[in-house]
Amino acid sequence: MEDTKILQYFEGKTILITGATGFLAKIFLEKILRVQPEIKKLFLLIRAVDKRSAEQRLREEVLNTELFRVLREKYGIYDSKLRDEMWQEVHIIVNSAATTKFDERYDVAMGINALGAMHVQKFARNCSKIEMFVHVSTAYVRSSSVGLIPEKPFHMGETPDGAKISYLDINTEKKVVEERLRGLEAQNATELEIASAMRNLGIDRAKLHGWPNTYVFTKAIGEMLLENLEENVKLIIVRPTIITSTYKEPFSGWTESLRTLDSIFVAYGKGKLKFFVGDPNSTLDMIPGDMVVNSMLVAMAMHANQPSHRLIYHIGSSLRNPLKYEDMKWLMDKYLTKNPLLDTGGKPIKLEKGKVLETMASFHRYIAIRYLPFIQVSFINLFY
């Protein structure tokens, strides 16, 4: 599809973006403002206690970030007042609000990733000019699949192959959360105890139904709830893999905080990570944030005037540009040897190249050889 036709579609449109302070939402927002200044209006949904706090978060966490530097230099940034006109004006809703912690509290993840998506979709019913609802999910909702994974929706209650329970009852899951919270409150549990119990509950329920963690489990539930809503609104679900820093736009290398593989890179470069466990020939699927946004914009413009009401796109790199686990380590070794990280005193940290342990047996041997002597010495010191 030609770039001009994509840009023409967004001219004069009003878009509601949820989770506007999130990593991907910022890239989406910057892109749409930079390439289509004739967009009519953007509504940004930001969690805050009041209007002033929301405006402060918008300035500090979105507009003043380095990502928006190119936009500020080109157009300048002006504050805009939020209006209660969304139902009359919104054409497109982009739902990127999510909690991406793998071990998030089950009640929190259920509220944001699952029920939150449903509530935003219900909001779309009241938008008189609504054309489409774009929901950002994750490719790992299908994490148990192997080979080429079809871009198909979940059926209500569907669980992965091999799950201990063959049917997922979402109402039961909501009741499990409510009953557990009531039980903890009856026991006068502390906030710390409640948080820990909710995190453990999320992991347990995810694994029971065949998902590896709370994040992908609740994102899958969110997709089911969206698919179950009988709407005339066009629904586009995008499922990116591991989202990394920007490739080209507005400039290369932009990211914020330590995200997914970033923490591994930093820990390895600082000498805190001594080994890797995994099949060196397995593929890591990563995709730059700006490429995810570009794919979203193309999908939105492509299907604007088509009759399809339910569309799913997987956005990844493993088919066209696969990255092997061992290649990632080689790239880190090469980069960090030439560009070492600095310690707290500003001195370069010499890279200690780590080992790749291909099996759990080799992992146990490594731990025994490396750390058992220290454990024995510590044990002996208890008696002297």
Q: Using CA atoms, how far apart are residues 259 and 175, in angstroms rounded to an integer?
A: 32
pLDDT value for 379: 46
Tokens of 221: 């539930």
Question: Running DSSP on this structure, what letter comes out for residue 342?
Answer: B
> Residue 241 in contact with residue 292, Cβ under 8 Å?
no
pLDDT value for 378: 52
Residue 53 pLDDT exceeds 60? yes
Fold of 3-241+285-321: Rossmann fold (3.40.50)
Residue 4 pLDDT exceeds 90? no
Which residues make up the CATH 3.40.50.720 domain(s) of the chain?
A: 3-241+285-321
Q: Residue 289: which of 336, 235, 334, 246 has the closest Cα?
A: 246
pLDDT value for 292: 95
Tokens of 227: 């698919």
Q: Which residue among 9, 140, 215, 325 is the active-site one?
A: 215
Q: Which residue among 219, 234, 313, 329 is the active-site one?
A: 219
Percent share of the chain, pLDDT over 70: 88
* DSSP letters for 348-379: BPPP-PPEEE-SHHHHHHHHHHHHHHHHHHHH
Q: 221: pLDDT confidence band, cut at 50, 70 and 90?
A: very high
pLDDT value for 270: 93
The torsion defined by the Cα of 249, 303, 215 and 63, in degrees rounded to 10, comes to 40
State pTM to two decimals.
Answer: 0.80
Q: pLDDT tens digit string along 84-118?
A: 567 888 899 999 989 999 999 999 999 999 998 98
pLDDT value for 46: 81
pLDDT value for 294: 94
Q: 195: pLDDT confidence band, cut at 50, 70 and 90?
A: very high
Question: Looking at residues 184-195, what average pLDDT do you find?
Answer: 94
Q: Using CA atoms, how far apart are residues 96 and 94, in angstroms rounded to an integer?
A: 6
310-315 sheet: strands from edge to edge? 41-45, 14-18, 92-95, 132-136, 234-240, 310-315
The region of weakest confidence among 140-154, 205-219, 264-278 is 140-154
Catalytic site includes residue 219:
yes
Tell me the three-class secondary structure of 158-221, residue by residue: CCCCCCCCCCCCHHHHHHHHHHHHHHHHHCCCCHHHHHHHHHHHHHHHHHHCCCCCHHHHHHHH
Question: Running DSSP on this structure, what letter comes out for residue 66?
Answer: G
Q: Regarding predicted confidence, which is higher, 50 or 220?
A: 220
pLDDT value for 267: 92
For residue 250, cis peptide bond before it (omega within 30 degrees of 0): yes
Mean residue pLDDT of the chain comes to: 85
Catalytic site includes residue 215:
yes
Q: pLDDT tens digit string along 61-78?
A: 776 666 666 555 444 433
